[in-house]
Every structure is written in C-alpha cells, then in structure tokens.
Amino acid sequence: MSHKNHQILIIGGGTAGITVAAQLLRKSKGLDVAILEPSEKHYYQPAWTLVAAGTFNYKDTERDEATLIPEGAVWIKDFAEDINPENNSVTTRSGDVITYQFLVVCPGIQIDLDGIEGLRETLGKNGVCSNYTDPNYTWEVLQNFKGGNALFTQPTGPIKCGGAPQKIMYLADEYFVKTGVRDKTNVIFATPGTVIFGVKEFAETLTKVINRKGIILKFYHKLVRIDGPNKKAIYELTATDESNCIVTVNDDNNVIQEDVVGKTTLTIPFELLHLAPPQSAPDFVKKSKITHQDGVNQGWVKVDHYSLQNPDYPNVFALGDVAALPTAKTGAAVRKQAPVVVDNILKLIAHKTADNKSYTGYSSCPLVTGYGKMVLAEFGYGNKRMSDPLISTFVNTTKEQWSMWILKKYGLPFLYWNLMLRGRI
C-alpha cells in the first residue's frame, strides 16, 4: 500500500474525465491533475449503433487510453474502490490511498446483467443482443435474421443515451427491407415508458416514423425475465389505459402472438431481441456518502443541477452518467457540463466562490431513423427543446435530415477525438 496526493483527482478516464482534465491543463499547465482509470482502451460508444447496422467499423471506435491522457496529467491505472469525502481520500483496488484537494467523479455507468432474470445467461446468444455490450453480435444477428418477431426493448431506470434502443430498431427495419425479410417480420418496440420521446417536437416526428414503418409500439412494458433457449421475453405491465386495456399501437390482431397471463404478466416470443440492459452507478459510488441516500436518485452522485458541485462536500464535483441530473446521460451533455466544472474548480483554487451555475441541462440525442436519415434532438431541463444556434439556422433538426446523418457518421466522431478530448471544445 502506498499514499499519493494530488491537487485534483479525477475518477474516470472516459469522455467526462479526459475532457475535464484536458480543459483544466489548457487553462493552467501548472495544475497537478491525476486521472484514476483502469482501462487500456477508450471507446467512442455513440458509433456502436452504426457498427451494429453494418455501416461503421468497430476498430474505428477504439483508441489506446494512453494516447488520450492529456500532457501534464498523471495516469493512475487502477480501480477506485472507496471514496471517503470526509478525509478527502480515495482508496484503490490495489490498496493505495490517494488524497486530493478537489475531486471530480465521472466513472460512467455500469451494466447490471443481473437486473433482469436470465439476461446474464443468454446475452450474446439465442438472438439476444445489445449494442451496449457487443455491437458486433447485433450486426451478426441482423444478418442472420430470416423473419419473425424482432423485439426491441429497454429497462426501467436511467440508461446511457435513452434514444439508443430506438435507433438500432429503425436501422434494422430498413435492413430487413433491403434483405427481403421485412414482409415476414414484426418489428416491436416494448418500453416501460409512457411516450416514445420526452420532448414533444421530436416525439411527433418519431411517431410518424413508427407509423410509416408499421412498427408495433407497446407502452408500460417492463422486461422482467428472458427465456433465451425458448426465445421468450416476459414482461410485467406497469399500467393500462382507461379501459383497462394493454396500450399497443399497430397490432390490432395480435400478429406477434403475445400471450397474456393474468392481469399483469405477458410473454412475447422473439427471433431477435435487442435490449438496453439495466444500468446503475458503479458500486463504489453507490456506497459513498457523496450520493443520494434514498429516493428516486438513490446511489447517484448528489450535485447542484446548475453548478455540478456536491452540496455536502464543496470540493467534490460530478458530471456525466454518474451525476443525479434530470436530463439524458449523453456525451453531448458532458460537452456542456465540463466547462462549468472546470471554471468552478479554478475559481475555488483562486479562493473565489464556485458561482458558475450555467449548466441548464443540455443534452442531445442523435436519433438515427434509417440509413441516411437522422433527427438531432437537443433539449434541456424540463424537456425543453434547445437547438444549436448555427445548425438550426440552416436545418430543421426536428425533421429527418440527410445532413444530420453525415454529422452523426463523420462530423461527431471527428469532433470527439480531435477537439472534445483535447479540451478545445
């Protein structure tokens, strides 16, 4: 066991951690910044949807972590195991203790394969796939699909990029048309939610896409068990409509052969099941005092929604997926959060007040609706639509646009690797 001390300790070398470190060192090269991150590889996960649809190379989403650590930052290649904010210390898995003056918590989110019965046993086989874990297998499943129920679903609770479970569905629908199997396929989206998207302007467009494609849409469906060998997905109904009926769109005659058992349980057979698995904050975060201890945000890091500062420990900040914020967990959100965290830390170092409260919940979800088509959904707190002033001058981002597809496939990866992770935006 050893003891280390750093002025600024960043837990997590993903999108948020690298961006914050790069911006800090661009503004002040003399800072003592350390990044605690165990991974050798860094992935641009937003492109995994395109990988799963056969239109992006998986290797192009991967970089060596060592090439992304900003010059001047110290890379501690280890896992965080315990956060003790009262002692200003973090203990690593190897037993080292790292003390800090300021802590930035951004380790991302963890996949909970035990959150749904049967998921761990069947994921990656039996046609059960997830872009969150292995987009290459999703692409394999799409290529081998010959018809039947193609079921797309998501869990209750927060997940990375809430629109991702829909994107691959829209691309799969078009791929099935190309391969000649769409006419013998039922494309189904089963969600525990009550709407297709939380922002009205974008929900209207997506509803038109769903109706145009003839996608079967099912609300209030909570996935609780997967029987992989028998290819069945078991759901619990969380609610029904006013007439006590299951809320379904585009399936008047039960062509999917859904089997209702009792009042609250039903089974949907599938040939393909793509899901976003349940997700949560990492275990070492959940047990820390910097989190909400109860309520709907239990286990997520407590922060002021506008300054991203922890109200109980003012030298602690959090951003990215692990922060308890009422907005979507996306890389686009990090792009707006990072400058606020950086500015507030620099102010505290200068013995000033951390009074930058300019983060207004901005997040963005590039909703791919087919090959060559995308809706750029930008929004903030309260599901209020927010638009980039330059892009919205030339493009109506509430509609499907080829130009936004080009942005998604080529523009955003370039900006990510060359500007965002270098602290330039």
Helix (H, G, I), strand (E, B) or coil at 364: strand
Q: What angle do CA 384, 189, 367 make, to 5 degrees?
A: 40
Query: Checking phi first, is residue 287 left (phi over 0); if not, alpha (psi -120 to 50) or beta?
Result: alpha
**H or E element at residue 253:** none
* Angle at the Cα of 169 from the Cα atoms of 166 and 171, rounded to 5 degrees: 115
Residue 129 annotated as catalytic: no
In one letter, which amino acid is 283?
Answer: D
Q: In 119-163, which ranges are continuous DSSP H helix?
A: 119-122, 135-144
The reply to whether 161 belongs to the active site is yes
The whole-angstrom separation of Cα 372 and Cα 369 is 8
Look at residues 117, 109, 212 and name the one whose alpha carbon lies nearest to residue 164.
Answer: 109
> Is 341 in contact with 105 (CB distance < 8 Å)?
no
Candidate list 106, 129, 161, 245, residue with the active-site label: 161
Sign of the Cα torsion 189, 191, 193, 198 reads: negative
Residue type at position 276 = A
Tell me how crowded residue 289 is: count the other CB atoms within 10 A of its CB.
14
Residue with tokens 């707006």: 336
Beta bridge partners of 102: 8
**Residues carrying an active site annotation:** 161, 365
